[in-house]
Amino acid sequence: MTEVLSQEEIDQLLTAINAGDTEPEDFRPAADTRKIKIYDFKRPDKFSKEQIRTVSIMHETFARLTTTALSATLRSLVHVHVASVDQLTYEEFIRSIPTPTTLAIINMDPLKGNAILEIDPAITFSIIDRLFGGTGEGTKSQHELTDIEQSVMEGIIVRILGNMREAWAQVIDLRPRLGQIDTNPQFASIVPPTEMVVLVTLETKVGDVEGMMNFCIPYLTIEPIIGKLSAQYWYSSVRRGTTTENLNILKEKLSNVDVNVVAEIGRVNVPVRDVLSLRLNDVIRLYNVRVGDPFSLNIGSKKKFLCRPGVIGKKMAVQIIKKTAELEQEEFEELTSEVEESL
């Protein structure tokens, strides 16, 4: 805190200076050593460094999932990783991408507004060439996508968006949908030119072809969840384990899974002669089987053979399918003859 001098102390200092005992330079204020940061009001920072790091972590997961998905789809070595995460104006982003290019307008439901996924032409044509049976070298000539090529890229982008939903699951149950594909950046006006956006740049390599994928998210779109883009929220969600959003995704994935369930209510031991004297309906009701279903019969306390009920004419028939290791050959022949006689 700055010390305030009394009038007496001020008079003593002035007397000392006039007498020449003290140099005036000794009382000059110290130089200001504070660091001054230039702030541009035309492009104000909307994202903190912590929020930028959280976005980077989320899309590192997205990059790993996309690497696996594209490698399986293209049957080629694909590598995707996060190169940088920056904030800039939308106009700067539009000026930085080539023309023509692949611009996918993404609906970020339940968030309001859209985002843009831009894929470098070299990567686009390499993917198309691989899916059409080529080597994946693509083409050096840049042209707008034909209807067939656009349809192929739509399928690839839809698959990529599924990975994005999983990568964002810790923050929000995002349901991204592909709106349309443009090739001219000037036609993709999703926000005003001066609006701030966060740009995730993904270095992508398909075989020997290298390029970039850019994911542009406007601040207006991401603003409702900006408070969740913090390290504290992110890691607390991870420690909690499965969140509500993850449960919804898990239920959706498990809804189409077939699971075979077998329940054994009880067992009944019945002698062979009693079984042979039963009517077919009695066997079905007793063993809870259908005609043609196999079931096992015991002799004493041992499982002896596997049989199948059926009908020959108007009589019930029992076919011995397989004898067990516990059944001696003589017993098996004797049982077989008894069954044949009963028929």
pLDDT of residue 6: 74
User: pLDDT tens across 172-219, in order?
Assistant: 888 999 988 888 888 888 888 888 899 999 999 998 888 999 999 998
Beta strands in 9-152, from DSSP E residues, in sequence order: 78-89, 102-109, 114-119
N- to C-terminal Cα separation, the chain? 113
Question: Distance (Å, rounded) from C-alpha 224 to C-alpha 335?
Answer: 78
User: pLDDT tens across 65-109, in order?
Assistant: 999 999 888 888 899 999 999 998 998 899 888 888 889 999 998
Question: Distance (Å, rounded) from C-alpha 158 to C-alpha 204?
Answer: 17
pLDDT of residue 39: 59
Averaged pLDDT, 273-302:
58
Question: Distance (Å, rounded) from C-alpha 196 to C-alpha 190?
Answer: 12
The whole-chain average pLDDT of the chain stands at 76
Contact between 320 and 338 under an 8 Å Cβ cutoff? The reply is no
pLDDT of residue 42: 62
Q: Which tokens belong to 267?
A: 């067992």
- Which DSSP letter does residue 234 get? H
Interhelix angle 121-131/147-167, nearest 10 degrees: 110
Strand partners, 116: 105, 216
- C-alpha distances in Å from residue 42, one per residue of 97, 173, 192, 195, 222: 22, 33, 13, 10, 20
- C-alpha distances in Å from residue 34, one per residue of 49, 231, 239: 21, 29, 40
Q: Is the entire prediction scored with pTM above 0.85?
A: no
Say if residue 36's pLDDT is above 50: yes
Say if residue 325's pLDDT is above 70: no
More confidently predicted of 10 and 291 = 10
Query: Which distant-in-sequence residues (6+ apart) come within 8 Å of 136 by Cβ?
Result: 74, 76, 126, 127, 129, 130, 206, 207, 208, 209
Q: Which tokens belong to 200?
A: 């995730």
Q: Which tokens belong to 217?
A: 């998210």
pLDDT of residue 157: 92
pLDDT of residue 290: 55
pLDDT of residue 236: 61
Question: Distance (Å, rounded) from C-alpha 91 to C-alpha 85?
Answer: 17
Say if residue 34's pLDDT is above 80: no
Averaged pLDDT, 99-122:
90
pLDDT of residue 270: 63
pLDDT of residue 79: 92
Domain boundary assignment for the chain: 49-243, 272-342
List phi, psi (to 5°) of 229: -90, 60
Query: Which distant-in-sequence residues (6+ apart) come within 8 Å of 77 by Cβ?
Result: 71, 205, 206, 207
pLDDT of residue 118: 92
pLDDT of residue 303: 66
The share of the chain scoring above pLDDT 90, in percent, equals 16
pLDDT of residue 266: 58
DSSP H or E segment with residue 288: none
As its CATH architecture, domain 49-243 has: 3-Layer(aba) Sandwich (3.40)
Averaged pLDDT, 291-306:
62
β-strands 209-218, 196-206 pairing = antiparallel
